Structure 1
Amino acid sequence: MDKISQNRDFFKADFEILKQIKTDKQKGLPAPPLQKGYDSNSDLIELPTVSKDILVKNNVLDCINDRRSVRKYSNEKISLSQLSYLLWSTQGIQTVRDEFSALRTVPSAGCTHPFETYLIINNVDNLKCGVYRYLPLEHKLLFIKTLANIDDKIDKATPNQPFVQGFVSKSAVVFAWSCIPYRSEHKFSIAAHKKILIDIGHVCQNLYISSESLDCGTCAIGIYDQNIIDNMLDLDGENEFIIYMACLGKKL
């Protein structure tokens, strides 16, 4: 079977295979935590309470109809309240079921939610430029590090854009979603990976719709340098790696 045929087969439902496999969950092995840990001495930033008062468009029909991929941004800053809403919209926790699972604002197969949200902040009010991670349990930001020459680093991590070269570094914030595959593999074994790819689509679409409700523009990024972005965010590239990206800013 050639590579294209193999990849096409990956698209297809094949969950009968789970009947032949004893998953780690069935073996009684502990599930991974629903959020990565962090040093208790870390620099945490409180995020404002999410409120519908910041919405520019309240009609979901208008948001869906007006949604487009936007690659040109103004120099206007994104507010911390707006960023708080966007983070809640894409990975916010509504109900904690136990230490291993929680209901969120996006669906996920088996409630596994195998993603972490990293932010490369370039133009957000009251935040210094650099790398952050969203902590959905606390609804806070974890500051990771500053980035010298941040525009150049973003451009190198997102090369070969087919429509507008270098547009990602002109945005206010880059969302970089990492995947921790074992969160899903624990429950679904070798059937996990198709589910993970479906799930990340839900996350990015929520960003598009919530972005439009603020009259901001966003653009999903499927072309990026895997090694550069993983290294930039201090990910090992095996047990955690970037699976999808999107940038966002105020529309021109």
Structure 2
Amino acid sequence: MNEIGREFMEKTKFQYAERSDQSLGYPQPPLEKGAGGAEVIDLPEPAEVDVRKIDLREAIEGRSSFRDFSQEALSLGELSYLLWCTQGVRELMGNAATLRNVPSAGARHSIETYMLINNVEGLEEGLYLFLPIEHKLAKIKTGPVVAENIMAACLDQNFIGTSAVTFIWTAVIYRMKWRYGERGYRYINLDAGHVCQNLYLSTQSIDCGVCAIGAFFDDELNAVLGVDGEDEFAIYIATLGKK
């Protein structure tokens, strides 16, 4: 086990790539997970959300991790704005691809955005999934026990419970492997980083702070999300709230 990371990097080198399922003619997987029968909630149009204008250099130089959140609620419009900045779809290319506000290898966009909602106006506490193509939310499950279980899966980091929203990003791996095979496991980590950095920068225009989290028990968190840990699995987390 001590060499597993080095072995992964070696065996996913580009020269070892085999023919992808795409090149073999297998059908492309869906571009998003979808609501799966869950209740769907409309979000305000991102362009109509009023946010403070901030210089890009100011945003970059002011970026830092923040854990001491206030009890002020996030508005539904502010949540809509953040989701647009991190996974917003600019253009739908038929069934082939989506062009979004973050880069992704081959425009595969295998990242899904779940949210633990603790303090957002108009939303019950609980777990939600963002539907980027429709720009809507799917309500997965509600109640305070959701936050308790997610905190337990994240080593009891208590600022998860005091955040207005905790973003939990998963990877639907075949969406990436369909084109890139095993090397796709590298790309999902890059994609998650792009998404989280956009969150860090965009929150400054609504006076919020963010703290990214990489420490969590994978199996426990996947179980709370209701994903199998193989075809879809948690990859990155970030808490967010008003300063």
The interval holding the TM-score normalised by the smaller chain is: over 0.9
**Partner-residue secondary structure (3-state), 2:46:** coil
**Partner-residue secondary structure (3-state), 1:204:** helix
- Gap change, CA 1:231 and 1:14, over 3 Å in 2: same
**Partner-residue secondary structure (3-state), 2:124:** coil
Within the candidate set 213, 227, 230, 2:219 is matched to: 227
Identify which range, 174-183 or 139-148, moves more after superposition: 139-148
Matched, 1:36 2:33: yes
- The Cα shift of 1:4 comes to 6.7
- The Cα shift of 1:150 comes to 4.2
Alignment length (residue pairs): 243
**Partner-residue secondary structure (3-state), 1:51:** helix
Within the candidate set 20, 24, 28, 2:21 is matched to: 24
Equivalent residues of 1:57, 1:212 under 8 A apart: no
Corresponding residue number in structure 2 for 1:6:
6
In 1, the alpha carbon distance for the partners of 2:114 and 2:180 equals 25
In 1, the alpha carbon distance for the partners of 2:120 and 2:52 equals 18
- Gap change, CA 1:114 and 1:62, over 3 Å in 2: same
Matched, 1:70 2:69: no
- Gap change, CA 1:200 and 1:39, over 3 Å in 2: closer
Counterparts of 1:69-108 in structure 2, within 5 Å, are 69-108=65-104
In 1, the alpha carbon distance for the partners of 2:36 and 2:223 equals 20
- Gap change, CA 1:170 and 1:24, over 3 Å in 2: same
In 2, the alpha carbon distance for the partners of 1:166 and 1:92 equals 29
Corresponding residue number in structure 2 for 1:180:
172
In 1, the alpha carbon distance for the partners of 2:147 and 2:73 equals 16
Equivalent residues of 2:116, 2:147 under 8 A apart: no
1:34-68 Cα distance to aligned partner (Å, 9 max, x none): 1113345x311111011375222421111111111
- The Cα shift of 1:12 comes to 10
Corresponding residue number in structure 2 for 1:136:
132
Corresponding residue number in structure 1 for 2:42:
46
- The Cα shift of 1:239 comes to 0.5
- Gap change, CA 1:28 and 1:150, over 3 Å in 2: closer
In 2, the alpha carbon distance for the partners of 1:75 and 1:150 equals 19
- The Cα shift of 1:78 comes to 0.3
Matched, 1:249 2:238: no
Matched, 1:113 2:105: no
- The Cα shift of 1:2 comes to 5.5
Corresponding residue number in structure 2 for 1:59:
55
- Gap change, CA 1:5 and 1:193, over 3 Å in 2: closer
1:78-115 Cα distance to aligned partner (Å, 9 max, x none): 00000001001111100111214110000001111111
Structure 1 gaps of 5+ residues are: none
In 1, the alpha carbon distance for the partners of 2:71 and 2:5 equals 45
Corresponding residue number in structure 1 for 2:232:
240
Corresponding residue number in structure 2 for 1:205:
197
What do you get for the CA RMSD once the two structures are aligned?
2.0
Equivalent residues of 2:126, 2:147 under 8 A apart: no
In 1, the alpha carbon distance for the partners of 2:233 and 2:132 equals 19
Structure 2 gaps of 5+ residues are: none
**Partner-residue secondary structure (3-state), 2:73:** coil
Sequence identity, in percent? 42
- The Cα shift of 1:149 comes to 3.2
Runs of 4+ residues over 2 Å off in structure 1: 11-14, 37-40, 51-54, 147-155
* TM-score, with structure 1 as normaliser: 0.90
